[in-house]
Chain A
Amino acid sequence: MSITSPKDIIAKRVALEFEDGMLVNLGRGIPLLVPKYLPKDYLVWCESENGVIGVGPAPEKGKENPFLTDAANMPATILPGGCTFDSAKSFGIVRGGHLDYSVLGTFQVDQEGNIANWTVPGEAYTGMGGAMDLVAGAKKIIVATEHCDKNGLSKILKKCTFPLTGIKCVDIIVTELAFMVVTEAGLELREVAPGISVEEVIAKTDAELIIPESVSEMPI
């Protein structure tokens, strides 16, 4: 299967990090595309902030349960083996180190692992919802985002300028151009997407990248 859309490149690369049986939380947008690229025999448990493990696809029209939604308030289903719980347990699972991965989209992320994904400047009254919890306690935080914004500006910055969601919390950044890892020394470029050169990634990235001796191609 040849993948060309940026979103699918990102989702497919993120999917390679997943292992059978993991418990994850997938943010809206690109992260929700990841399950499409998991091996068919994998059972990965998705947590939903409003109190579900094993949240499944949308129900058929007419079969909605008015008391069962996902975190985006859309009608949802629960996969066999899934379960429900209250909001305290839900966020205990999120903060308490029980999620293998929290996969998130973002407006900005920087080379220190800071992330700004809950609001843009000037939107003072929307609130952070669960965004700050989702970067506070998962075993690994994976940012799955397009490399640049609508105006072609790098989302991978030296320093975030938007209101922060969390500080020094991001582990991995996956874009349609690159797979990058936040290390103690800084942001390291580990892989480039097929057909993309290291120079192109550097040119399109505001952050300072650490370039190891060999940068491999994304195995997608």
Chain B
Amino acid sequence: MLLNKIMSTKEAVSKIKDGSSIIISGFCGIGSPDDVIDEIIEQGIKDLTIIANDGGTPITGVGKLLYAGRVKKFLCSWCAFTPIVARLVEENGMEMEFNPQGTVVERIRAGGCGLGGVLTKTGLGTVVEEKGWGKRIKIEGEEWLYHTPLRSDVALIEAYQADEAGNLVFNRTQLNYAELASMAATLVIASVVKPISKIGELDPDHIRVPGALVDILVQQDERYVEQPKYLNPTILDAIKKANQEFKAGVQR
């Protein structure tokens, strides 16, 4: 008998506890499940450790959790669209770690694939080494930066299509972190854009995340499907407004 993996967003998010660590797939919000993120804010879940490619924007992806003050520790590669990060670190004591983009995703791969970490040349002699985010080690005469593997309590991903078994198919650059995020978390929640299919309706060759790795499927609300997350006037206005408010806040 097939376990029913389909839940309401509300029920899915109720499984996430305060203080959880969460890997959130997405590249500037593309591929991040905004419905699930909004529900986390709605349910008041806090003190989160967030691992992601970037900070999204003030109104898409990870950025919404930052602006709602729910993040205790943040690891990402880039967050220039969310200027609030500076204040969260300096005034609220949010822990912040920056890793090069390719390092973030490889650390997640290591965590999800049972490997002991990442050895990379990226970041040697830079702030990554100075801050101790990566540790210089020498193996057989070669210098590398070593980074520990990353795992999390929860992974949040967005998929374009799914079947009831949890198999996931993606649309273009929506894929980004999804394959590896689904390997590196105890609880994997996927928000699905298209109506969830019956088993057997997806071509096995098109499936990028095997259903066996996915715990919960959420059918994405149409409101979210219709809102593009690429840089558009709405997003640019939100970033501009956030910047102005941030600057005003600093002067106070």
Interface residues of A (CB under 8 A from B): 48-52, 64-69, 72-76, 78, 84-88, 90-92, 94-95, 124-133, 136-137, 163-167
Contact among A68, A125, A133 with B173 in the assembled complex (CB-CB below 8 Å): A68
**What's the Cα separation between A78 and B171 when bound, in Å?**
12
Contact among A72, A78, A92, A166 with B172 in the assembled complex (CB-CB below 8 Å): A78
- In the bound complex, do residue A65 and residue B171 qualify as a contact, i.e. CB atoms below 8 Å apart? yes
Contact among A51, A69, A165 with B126 in the assembled complex (CB-CB below 8 Å): A165
Count of chain B residues with Cβ under 8 Å from any Cβ of A? 51
The smallest C-beta distance from B112 to any residue of chain A, in angstroms, reads: 10
Most buried by B among A50, A84, A126, A130: A50
**What's the Cα separation between A184 and B106 when bound, in Å?**
32
By a CB distance below 8 angstroms, the chain A residues around B83 are: 125
By a CB distance below 8 angstroms, the chain B residues around A166 are: 122, 124-126
Can you add 12 more A-B contacts, CB < 8 Å, to A127-B79, A128-B127, A164-B126? Answer: A69-B28, A73-B29, A74-B231, A91-B101, A127-B76, A128-B126, A132-B128, A133-B102, A136-B102, A136-B122, A137-B121, A163-B127
Known: A87-B53, A128-B77, A132-B123. A67 touches B101 (CB 8 A): no
- In the bound complex, do residue A84 and residue B101 qualify as a contact, i.e. CB atoms below 8 Å apart? no
By a CB distance below 8 angstroms, the chain A residues around B7 are: none
Query: Which of B9-17, B40-48, B176-184 is found at the contact surface with chain A?
Result: B176-184
Contact string, B83-123, partner A, CB cutoff 8 A, digits 1/0? 10110010000001010111101100100000000001111
Contact string, B4-38, partner A, CB cutoff 8 A, digits 1/0? 00000000000000000000000111110000000
- In the bound complex, do residue A128 and residue B102 qualify as a contact, i.e. CB atoms below 8 Å apart? no
By a CB distance below 8 angstroms, the chain A residues around B28 are: 69, 73
By a CB distance below 8 angstroms, the chain A residues around B177 are: 86-87
Q: Write 18 A-B pairs (CB below 8 A) sorted by A numbering.
A: A64-B228, A66-B30, A67-B31, A67-B172, A67-B173, A69-B30, A73-B231, A84-B175, A86-B176, A91-B106, A94-B102, A95-B102, A95-B122, A125-B85, A128-B128, A132-B126, A136-B100, A137-B122
Q: Using CB atoms, name the residue of chain B closest to A69.
A: B230
- In the bound complex, do residue A163 and residue B102 qualify as a contact, i.e. CB atoms below 8 Å apart? no
By a CB distance below 8 angstroms, the chain B residues around A127 are: 54, 76-80, 98
The smallest C-beta distance from A88 to any residue of chain B, in angstroms, reads: 5
**What's the Cα separation between A144 and B77 when bound, in Å?**
24
Contact string, B210-252, partner A, CB cutoff 8 A, digits 1/0? 0000000000000000001111000000000000000000000
By a CB distance below 8 angstroms, the chain B residues around A133 are: 100-103, 122
By a CB distance below 8 angstroms, the chain B residues around A167 are: 124-126
- In the bound complex, do residue B231 and residue A72 qualify as a contact, i.e. CB atoms below 8 Å apart? yes
Contact among B30, B175, B179 with A73 in the assembled complex (CB-CB below 8 Å): B30
The smallest C-beta distance from B59 to any residue of chain A, in angstroms, reads: 13
- In the bound complex, do residue B175 and residue A86 qualify as a contact, i.e. CB atoms below 8 Å apart? yes
**What's the Cα separation between A82 and B106 when bound, in Å?**
24
The smallest C-beta distance from B82 to any residue of chain A, in angstroms, reads: 9
- In the bound complex, do residue B126 and residue A84 qualify as a contact, i.e. CB atoms below 8 Å apart? no
- In the bound complex, do residue B122 and residue A73 qualify as a contact, i.e. CB atoms below 8 Å apart? no
The smallest C-beta distance from A10 to any residue of chain B, in angstroms, reads: 25
The smallest C-beta distance from A121 to any residue of chain B, in angstroms, reads: 11
By a CB distance below 8 angstroms, the chain A residues around B101 are: 49, 87, 91, 128-130, 133
B174 CB within 8 Å of chain A = yes
The smallest C-beta distance from B107 to any residue of chain A, in angstroms, reads: 10
The smallest C-beta distance from A60 to any residue of chain B, in angstroms, reads: 14
- In the bound complex, do residue B122 and residue A86 qualify as a contact, i.e. CB atoms below 8 Å apart? no
Q: Using CB atoms, name the residue of chain B closest to A131.
A: B100
The smallest C-beta distance from B102 to any residue of chain A, in angstroms, reads: 3
By a CB distance below 8 angstroms, the chain B residues around A131 are: 100
